[in-house]
Structure 1
Amino acid sequence: MDATRRSVSLGLSALSLLGLTGLTALREAVAQEEAAAPPPPQTGLRFSEPRPFSFEQLVAQAEAAAKEPYASPIIRFDDILDRIDPEVFADIRFRPDQALWADGSGPWPIRFHHPGRWFKRPVHINLVENGQAREILYEPWLFEFGEKASFVTGLPEDLGFAGFRVMNKQGGGDWLSFLGASYFRASGEQDQYGISARGVAIDIGLPTPEEFPAFREFWIERAAPDNDDLVICAFLDGPAVAGAYRFLVRRPGAVTMDVEAKLFMRHGVQRLGIAPLTSMYWFSETNRHAATDWRPEIHDSDGLAIWTGSGERLWRPLNNPQTMMVSSFSDTDPKGFGLLQRDREFASYEDDSLFYERRPSLWVEPLQPWGKGTVQLVEIPTNVEIHDNIAAYWVPEVKTEAGMRFDLGWRLYWQDGIPQELTVARCVATRIGRGGVPGAAEDRDLKLFAVDFEGPSLEPLRKGEDVQAVVATSRGEITRAFAFQIVGTRRWRAMFELLVDGEEPVDLRLYLRLGDNALTETWLYQYHPFRFVAGPSGFGEE
């Protein structure tokens, strides 16, 4: 993981941890140089003079920008902003009574993020009414600076904001936030942040540095006077691409976002990631043997789900590998993909401050055919939960070149599960253990896999029915593959043993079948061979 990615993920994740538990992300002491200047009389938000705005104008702006060389934004007051680490950032609070639409005149109150160490580049934020845009002007007095942030003085009134967040109407925090590069996230139907999305990913998962285009300006408006929907437009800019985005945001409980994106390439890139998702996976029941934390599981997402263009349902449990891994799943016109949090049991996490069981899944549904390409999954090693180490996105097959235009649309669902009901059973657990007969001579290369499924296609079945576990492997030998109903439940479990040598990853494929009918989604797993530590307990690995 390159330094820029670590900075962004550390910034977002550390802020989340600070807000929920009071843990300190860094121990650098903040020098107390000056007392904060007293604020002037509060007179409400100030705006620039109005100017016409439409999404068509924004598209033309992005197209024109892509024909010009990229100009990196100038960072002013870098020394002050660099000292605003996560602890200090958490001590800077936007005044609630100064929020946009704080008086109830709009659908949701909107507060603004102050710039800081990992969010130095200012963004312009505009309010759109009746086709006229007015920029909301930054002023220091709009923020309350706590004791740790008392040194943040002398910043000008044209500094700009770092982003914004949409608040609940009756308190209880925010449910949507745009902050850092082109990152944004929603809290889903259980009001708990977790997974993030991005506008676009450039050259992600390559040995070369990843590029991070950023949203430079936003335009916010009420979608219609008779509902609470929001329209958020954004101008994206980076060395390789400029773009215009339009988000139609609805919150009927879960959060859905219709995304319209117009991308204009300044130059070709090796990998153009469309609808990128960013999450965290440290360990689950699958790799619990390698964990060092007392909690049973720690992850924002536990698997990648894909609904292929041909209608096949795929489930790929996530890994925390020793080195970065990129997996590709070729398809034509996929119906959807997403990083999901399937395990919704508190007992799986035992964390009553971070509430991993409440974190939303994020599903991507293309709104028009995307053609040929691949869903790619990036897994980056981590040994701590504050780093986002998982990414998933769509890569078009077409080679990108300077001057190319992409017109794309997709819908994002921030909710507990996927929006479409499965007609087949889904995978709910993947476990790996030592193979062989208990008490017999141990073969440390033999592993036993237990994969559990539940769902409508399995519920009518009874114990003893001839359900078969259909298993395939890219290398090694599969033995003793069978399936059975778990006692006292409607779940079915597939079990098999894998004997494989060497350290190269093994790609496994499994589903349950009754006669000629597939009963389950297809389980895909990339097994990284390991050996359990020798000893009477067999705990851990080497």
Structure 2
Amino acid sequence: MTHRISLTGFAKAAFAVGICSTVVSGAICEAQSPTPTAQVDDEKRIDVGSEDGASRDISRYEDLVEHTRNVASQPGAPREELPLSLARLNYDAYRMIAFRYERALWWNQNRPFWLEFFHRGFVHRDRVSINILPRKGENGSAVSGADSAEPVTIPFDRGMFEYRGPTANMVLPTDIGYAGYKVIGRFPGDPSGQEMLTFLGASYFRSRSGATGYGTSARGLAVNPAATEEFPVFREFWIRDPDANDRTFTTLALMDSPSVAGAYEFTLTPGAVDTTVSVKCTLFFRDAAAKAGIAPLTSMWMWGDGLEGPPKDARPSVHDADGLQILDDDKWTWRALSRQSYPSLTSVPVKSLEGFGLMQRERRWSRYQDDEARYHQRPSVWIEPKSPWQGGTIELFEMPAIHEGHDNIVCYWVPPERPKPLEPIELDYDVHFFAGSQPASHKSLAKVARTDVVRRADGLLEFQVTFSRPRKVPEPAERQDDPPPEIEATSIRGEVIERSVTASDPLTWKVSLIVRPTSADEPVELSMNLQRDGTRIAETWSYLAAQAPPPYKYPQVYTRQD
């Protein structure tokens, strides 16, 4: 079921947090941060460090869980103000602060990974503390050059950065901390060093495989999503010093906000085609009324299948993902994405959730024709619990957006019960960032390859859904003269008045639906699957179709006007 959401309470939180992305060198770089707080003059600023020695006692995930339990028993830490000189930076000025790559931690030190740090400023307001966990020998002593086996805090060093243009003579406090960090390493079979994982802004993180760029982002947690949302922040990291032969990268993270504190362990396994970030976390909610959005993903969809682009833009499609994939109780569902003229929340009940994610199925350059953004190389992102999550709902939040620089798609799992105060919630799942149109386990059913919508002058909506069948046709092989599959279709705010299916070739079915809307202006919600002898032979297709295309406002890059 889909609901219309008011922007009144949502927009001030969501858009102030910067649910947006900026196209830079063909990758989407998110600029997310919680709602701004009051600013203070640099000379009046008081530095806020880590808790009294608490960081020194953390060397394992279990230590962090106990530390987080203690943090959750106290009110959430207030947000540290950003120095005024940094808070006043606009996007262009902030980009004039660049990290000096030769100052990266572990650069040229026979490590499989090395680290670069993000400077605070612009919308990146939160101070993030970063610690290194030295490798230990058999006797427990440090073996990686540290003076002890205790965590080592990385102090802010302005010498790591190049300050250009308007930032050249900027005066900064001695220790302002960092906004986040990125992991650089080598993908299998590729000797070049490439960025493969970043933590920047609230609890956002993103990754990629060797065959993709950046695109859809993941988050540690969403609190009260699709409402007056609260954005938890990864406030401190403990990064395990990698050995020269390590093929994985591990970091611990403390997340905090007024409603919740969380202990996280991330393990990165980079791959040429599929990169996996394994996530283990324990959450302690302070607020029992909070709604938890588990394993949230954030993406962008402006136009593509079902919605043409504006006349001044010749690109056929502009999106980071084109559909929500769900595997529930061994049943596959494909929800094609769209953009409404208002915030729209779709809730999908689940029984035994085996996976969900935002896929970028369309991977042909010709469907984007964008050599800078390279949308055809954006990753599909799949959340895979180590054991199925029981009950609850998958929620899909589709928002209006003025241009492709704003993320407007969010999905997450909502457990069947609200959290209980300080009662631990333990989660263990993988996040796959891969180059492909579907998860590896999705093999036996026909999948949706394209959704076309014609909004007719007589008010009817005409849909053509193209299904691509598995290349290995089950035996006995289906003949061209076999009867077509049966169409099972349901609709809300619409009546299906015609339906048909044809096999355009041995591997393709085309389903046609003609729908008469039953509401004056509300969108029509459709669901359809194909069956033969009572057995599903394709994933379920669902869609929310606006009766009229949503309005589009050209950004300044087109009009050169405010």
> What SS does structure 2 have at the residue aligned with 1:286?
coil
The equivalent position to 2:305 in structure 1, one of 262, 285, 288, is: 285
Shift, 1:453, TM fit? 0.6
- Is residue 60 of structure 2 the alignment partner of residue 54 of structure 1? yes
The equivalent of 2:488 in structure 1 is 470
Listed one character per residue, the Cα deviations across residues 359-399 of structure 1 (whole Å, up to 9, x for unaligned) are: 00110011134222111100111130000110000100112
Conserved? CA contact 2:296–2:413, under 8 Å: yes
Distance in 2, matches of 1:240 and 1:22, equals 29
The equivalent of 1:28 in structure 2 is none
The equivalent of 1:334 in structure 2 is 353
RMSD: 2.6
- Is residue 172 of structure 2 the alignment partner of residue 133 of structure 1? no
What is the TM-score with the length of structure 1 in the denominator? Answer: 0.86
Query: Aligned pair count?
Result: 494
The equivalent position to 2:289 in structure 1, one of 254, 269, 285, is: 269
Name whichever of 106-115 and 470-479 sits farther off: 470-479
Name stretches of at least 5 consecutive residues in structure 1 with no aligned partner. Answer: 26-48, 436-441, 534-542
- Is residue 138 of structure 2 the alignment partner of residue 118 of structure 1? no
The equivalent of 1:203 in structure 2 is 224
469 and 332 in structure 1: CA distance in 2 versus 1, 3 angstrom threshold = closer
- Matched residue type, 1:456: P
Listed one character per residue, the Cα deviations across residues 279-305 of structure 1 (whole Å, up to 9, x for unaligned) are: 001111211166763211100010000
The equivalent of 1:101 in structure 2 is 106
The equivalent of 2:139 in structure 1 is none
516 and 246 in structure 1: CA distance in 2 versus 1, 3 angstrom threshold = same
The equivalent position to 2:466 in structure 1, one of 452, 456, 465, is: 452
Distance in 1, matches of 2:18 and 2:371, equals 23
> What SS does structure 1 have at the residue aligned with 2:507?
coil
The equivalent position to 2:15 in structure 1, one of 6, 29, 48, is: 6
Shift, 1:7, TM fit? 4.3
- Is residue 501 of structure 2 the alignment partner of residue 483 of structure 1? yes
Conserved? CA contact 1:281–1:301, under 8 Å: yes
Conserved? CA contact 2:111–2:242, under 8 Å: no
Distance in 1, matches of 2:119 and 2:292, equals 30
Q: Percent identity?
A: 31
286 and 452 in structure 1: CA distance in 2 versus 1, 3 angstrom threshold = same
160 and 324 in structure 1: CA distance in 2 versus 1, 3 angstrom threshold = same
- Is residue 317 of structure 2 the alignment partner of residue 312 of structure 1? no
Conserved? CA contact 1:285–1:431, under 8 Å: yes
> What SS does structure 1 have at the residue aligned with 2:155?
coil
Shift, 1:222, TM fit? 4.3
Conserved? CA contact 1:108–1:228, under 8 Å: no
- Matched residue type, 1:53: S
The equivalent of 1:73 in structure 2 is 79
Shift, 1:168, TM fit? 3.4
Matches within 5 A, 1:342-353: 342-353=361-372
Matches within 5 A, 1:338-377: 338-377=357-396
> What SS does structure 2 have at the residue aligned with 1:413?
strand
> What SS does structure 2 have at the residue aligned with 1:335?
strand
Listed one character per residue, the Cα deviations across residues 217-262 of structure 1 (whole Å, up to 9, x for unaligned) are: 0111146653220111100000000010001110122210110110
458 and 472 in structure 1: CA distance in 2 versus 1, 3 angstrom threshold = farther
The equivalent of 1:42 in structure 2 is none
What is the TM-score with the length of structure 2 in the denominator? Answer: 0.83
Listed one character per residue, the Cα deviations across residues 110-164 of structure 1 (whole Å, up to 9, x for unaligned) are: 100000111111101111112531011111111011224324x221332101100
Shift, 1:84, TM fit? 2.8
376 and 356 in structure 1: CA distance in 2 versus 1, 3 angstrom threshold = same
Shift, 1:480, TM fit? 2.5
394 and 52 in structure 1: CA distance in 2 versus 1, 3 angstrom threshold = closer
- Matched residue type, 1:450: Q
| Bigger relative contact order (CA 8 A; separation at least 6) | 2
The equivalent of 1:388 in structure 2 is 407
Distance in 1, matches of 2:288 and 2:242, equals 35
- Matched residue type, 1:376: E
The equivalent position to 1:505 in structure 2, one of 512, 515, 523, is: 523
Conserved? CA contact 1:494–1:512, under 8 Å: no
Conserved? CA contact 1:122–1:216, under 8 Å: yes
Name stretches of at least 5 consecutive residues in structure 2 with no aligned partner. Answer: 1-9, 32-54, 137-148, 552-562
Distance in 1, matches of 2:57 and 2:258, equals 28
The equivalent of 1:31 in structure 2 is none
